[in-house]
Structure 1
Amino acid sequence: MSQTLPLLEVSGSPTERGQAQGETFKELIRDLVTVNFEDMVHGTQGYLTKERVYEIVSTYAGPNRDYAPHLFEEMEGIAEAADVPVEDLLALNGFLELHDYYSDAFMVSGCTSFMVPGDTSGEGALIAQNYDLSSIYAAAAILIKVKNEHAPDALFYTSAGMLGCAGVNNAGIGVVINNLVPSDASGGVLYPFIIRRILESVRIGDAIDAVIAKPRASGMNYVICDENGEIYDLETTAQEYEVICPFDGPMAHSNHYLTDRLKPFERRQWDQRGQSILRWGRATRLLKSCDKRNADALKNMLSDRVNTPVGICRHNEIHNGEACGQTIAGIVLDPPGRKAWFTRGPTGENEWGEYSLN
Structure 2
Amino acid sequence: MAFLKAQWAFSEKHAAAHLDEVCGLAKGYDVSPRDLFAYLHLGAMEDGDPEKDGCSVAVISDTKNGPLLAKNRDFGAEHQKLQRVVRHQDPLDKDLWCMFITSLGSPGAYSSGINSHGLAVADTAVGCSKLGVGWLRYFLMTEILWKAASVDEALDLISSVPHVGGGALVLVDKSGKIASVELGNEAIHIERADTGVLTHTNHYFSESLIPFQCKESEEAYFASSVGRLGAMNHFFAQNQSPLAVADVADLMSSHGSRWQSLCCHGDIGDGYTISSAIFSPANAGLQFCAEKPCSGNWAVYNAPDLKAVDAL
Q: Which category of TM-score, normalised to the shorter sequence, fits these structures?
A: 0.7 to 0.9
Distance 1:115 1:296 in 2: 15
**Paired position in structure 2 for 1:311:** 261
Contact 1:174 1:224 in 2 (8 A): yes
8 A Cα contact 1:169 1:357, kept in partner: no
1:236-258 CA deviation, whole Å, 9 max, x = no partner? 11221111134562232111112
In structure 1, which of residues 292, 297, 304 is the aligned counterpart of residue 247 of structure 2?
297
Q: Does 1:160 align with 2:104?
A: yes
Instruction: Identify the residue that residue 204 of structure 2 maps to in structure 1.
Output: 257
Matched, 1:287 2:233: no
User: Does 2:294 align with 1:348?
Assistant: yes
Moved runs in structure 1, 4+ residues, more than 4 A? none
SS at match of 2:292: coil
- How far apart in 2 are the matches of 1:340 and 1:142? 13
What CA deviation, in whole Å up to 9, does each residue of 1:82-105 have, x standing for no partner? 111001211232231122xxx2x4
Cα distance in structure 1, aligned partners of 2:58 and 2:41:
24
Aligned pairs, number: 295
Please state whether the residue corresponding to 1:94 is helix, strand or coil: helix
Following the alignment from structure 2 to structure 1, what is the Cα–Cα distance between the partners of residues 250 and 300?
15
Do the aligned residues in 2 keep the contact of 1:115 with 1:252 (CA within 8 Å)? yes
Determine the structure 1 residue equivalent to 2:189.
Answer: 242
Secondary structure of the structure 1 residue equivalent to 2:225: helix
Q: Is the 8 A contact 1:330 1:344 kept in 2?
A: yes
Matches of 2:193 and 2:38, distance apart in 1: 34
Residues 310, 324 of structure 1: 8 Å contact kept: no
1:189-338 to 2 correspondence within 5 Å?
189-200=135-146, 201-246=148-193, 249-268=196-215, 271=219, 272-290=221-239, 291-308=241-258, 311-317=261-267, 319=268, 324-338=270-284
Give the counterpart letter for 1:113 in structure 2: V
8 Å CA contact retained: 2:177, 2:195: no
What letter corresponds to residue 276 of structure 1 in structure 2?
S
Letter in 2 for 1:85: S
The answer to whether the 8 Å contact 1:92/1:161 transfers is no
Q: TM-score, normalised by structure 2?
A: 0.86
> Given that residues 115 and 246 in structure 1 are in contact (C-alpha distance below 8 angstroms), is that contact kept between their aligned partners in structure 2?
no
1:70 equivalent in structure 2: 17
Supply the distance in 2 between the matched residues of 1:98 and 1:86 (Cα, whole angstroms). Answer: 18
| Residue 81 of structure 2 is aligned to residue 139 of structure 1 | yes
Q: If the length of structure 1 is used for normalisation, what is the TM-score?
A: 0.76
Does the aligned pair in 1 maintain the 2:135–2:161 contact within 8 Å?
yes
Deviation at 1:259, TM superposition (A): 2.1
Q: Which residue of 2 aligns with 1:106?
A: 49
Amino acid at match of 1:339: G
* TM-superposition CA deviations, 1:208-240 (whole Å, max 9, x none): 233332222222211111121111111111221
Partner of 1:37: none
Give the secondary-structure state (helix, strand or coil) at the position aligned to 1:348.
helix
SS in 2 for 1:336: coil
Residue segments in structure 2 that go unaligned for 5+ positions in a row: 305-312
CA distance in 2, matches of 1:77, 1:155: 19
- Superposed counterparts of 1:162-201, under 5 Å: 162-163=106-107, 164=109, 165-200=111-146, 201=148
2:62/2:196 contact within 8 Å kept: no
Secondary structure at the aligned position of 1:95 is classed as: helix
Instruction: Return the alpha-carbon distance in structure 2 between the equivalents of residues 116 and 241 of structure 1.
Output: 22
User: Structure 2 vs 1, CA of residues 57 and 328 (structure 1 numbering), >3 Å: closer, same or farther?
Assistant: farther
**1:314 aligned counterpart, secondary structure:** coil
Percent of pairs identical after alignment? 20
State the one-letter code of the partner of 1:126: L
Aligned positions of 1:33-48 closer than 5 A: none
- 2-structure distance, mates of 1:90, 1:220: 18
Q: Tell me, what secondary structure is at the counterpart of 1:267?
A: coil
Q: Distance in 2 between matches of 1:348 and 1:282?
A: 16
Aligned equivalents of 2:154, 2:198: Cα separation in 1: 20
Q: What's 2:310 paired with?
A: none
Please tell me whether the aligned partners of residues 68 and 278 of structure 2 are also in contact (alpha carbons under 8 angstroms).
yes
Give the aligned residue type for 1:285: H
Match of 2:175, as an amino acid? N
